[in-house]
Amino acid sequence: MGLVPITDLLKDAQKGGYAVGAFNCNNMEIVQAIIDAAEAEKAPVIMQASQGAIKYAGLEYIVGMANIAAKNASVPVALHLDHGTDFAQVMKCIRYGFSSVMIDGSKYPLEENIAVTNRVLEVGRAVGVSVEAELGKIGGTEDDVTVDERDASMTDPEEAKYFVEKTGVDALAIAIGTAHGQYKGEPKLDFERLEKITKVIDTPIVLHGSSGVPDEAITRAIELGVSKINIDTNIREAFTGGAREAIEKMPDEIDPRKILKVAKEQMEAVIREKIRLFKSSGKA
Ligand code: G3H
Ligand code: 13P
Ligand code: ZN
């Protein structure tokens, strides 16, 4: 199977009452951990590349690894651009072979966000690439731009309705109290707001900043209609935690493969847990 867009994956998730995990990848070990976890759980999966991943690995490596992963996988695999910054970057990713893109116009006023999303959608529709947009500002560190959590504004349900009417976007990222990165305290999600949003739009909803959100809150969010859940920080923690543990246990080891094997096993375990929590196990 080749890389697939996320449109059908998310529609099936909406119908089936589960969410598809969208896991950030930065190198080969992370790609392998994501694919091995998805295969073991027989789950559809989204691999996504952030701005940091593009800078670190380069688009060609990312697309190359994702293509090989998807070709050999028995589960549907999408390669998605995470927080695409502008029209030009999104076009470049489509040309390199991403099957799905996010255009993050949340930094713009509403009408500008709608306009840039529509430009991307016109191309996405023409070439069969799905498009995610963002409405409201998700707190924490967002790619190169640090959004002060205090200023982070939540998604307005009426605005969401208007945004979807004006764009018909394939997936919508919303701000309901989650933030990127490690939480200092326990995040409190605004479920009332989420419920209001899912009542007025049918578009699949994306939850960003989902690492560190308590399991019960994730379950509730899925029950209320979230169908794509982004996880990055928990994978980073598992990678570095595994590598540290291996180095401590084998201080004289000079073979990086022996260190990274442990990192990979720990990432795979975390990703499998998430897939089960998202109820997408067995849905491939
Ligand atoms: O969007 C959130 C990701 O965790 C971005 O992180 O650009 O540092 O890879 P990164
Ligand atoms: P976390 O790093 O908080 O899991 O967020 C990931 C994310 O939202 C990527 O877009
Ligand atoms: Zn995000």
Mind listing the domains of the chain with CATH numbers?
6-277 (3.20.20.70)
User: How confident is the model over 228-246, as pLDDT tens digits?
Assistant: 999 999 999 999 999 999 9
What token pair was written down for 200?
């007025």
pLDDT at res. 140? 75
Which pLDDT score, from 0 to 100, does residue 153 have? 82
Provide the pLDDT confidence category of residue 283 given band limits of 50, 70 and 90.
very high
Cα 84 to Cα 245: distance, rounded to the nearest angstrom? 34
**According to the model, what pLDDT value does residue 142 have?**
45
Tens digits of per-residue pLDDT, 187-232?
999 999 999 999 999 999 999 999 999 999 999 999 999 999 999 9
Q: In whole angstroms, what is the distance from residue 76 CA to residue 70 CA?
A: 7
Give the separation between CA 1 and CA 27, rounded to whole angstroms: 21
User: What would the mean pLDDT of 246-263 be, rounded to a whole number?
Assistant: 98
How far is residue 73's CA from residue 68's CA, in Å, rounded to a whole number? 8
Provide residues with CB under 6 Å of ligand 2.
24, 82-83, 180-181, 208-211, 230-233
Mean per-residue pLDDT, 155-167: 98
Residue 101 Cα distances to 25, 63, 95, angstroms:
15, 13, 11
pLDDT of residue 103: 98
CA distance 176 to 247: 39
Ligand 2 centroid from CA 82, angstroms = 9
pTM assigned to the model: 0.96
Q: Which of 219, 142, 222 is nearest to 179 (CA)?
A: 142
Reply yes or no on whether the pLDDT at 1 is more than 80. yes
Those residues with Cβ within 8 angstroms of residue 231's Cβ, 6 or more apart along the chain or in another chain: 21, 22, 23, 24, 210, 211, 271, 274
pLDDT of residue 149: 52
As annotated, the active-site residues are 82
Helix axes 215-223, 191-200, angle to 10 degrees: 20
Average pLDDT of the residues in 66-77? 97
pLDDT by residue (tens digit) across 131-156? 999 999 997 744 444 445 544 589 99
Ligand nearest to the Cα of 134, by number = 3
Q: What is the pLDDT of residues 87-119, one digit of tens each?
A: 999 999 999 999 999 999 999 999 999 999 999
Q: For residue 146, what pLDDT is reported?
A: 47
| CB of residue 113 inside a 6 A radius of ligand 1 | no
Nearest CA to ligand 2 atom 3: 209
The pLDDT tens digits for 23-49 are 999 999 999 999 999 999 999 999 999
SS3 content of the chain, % helix, strand, coil (to 5): 50, 20, 30
CA 82 to ligand 1: nearest atom = 1
Q: Which residue has the higher pLDDT, 37 or 185?
A: 37
Radius of gyration of the chain (CA): 18
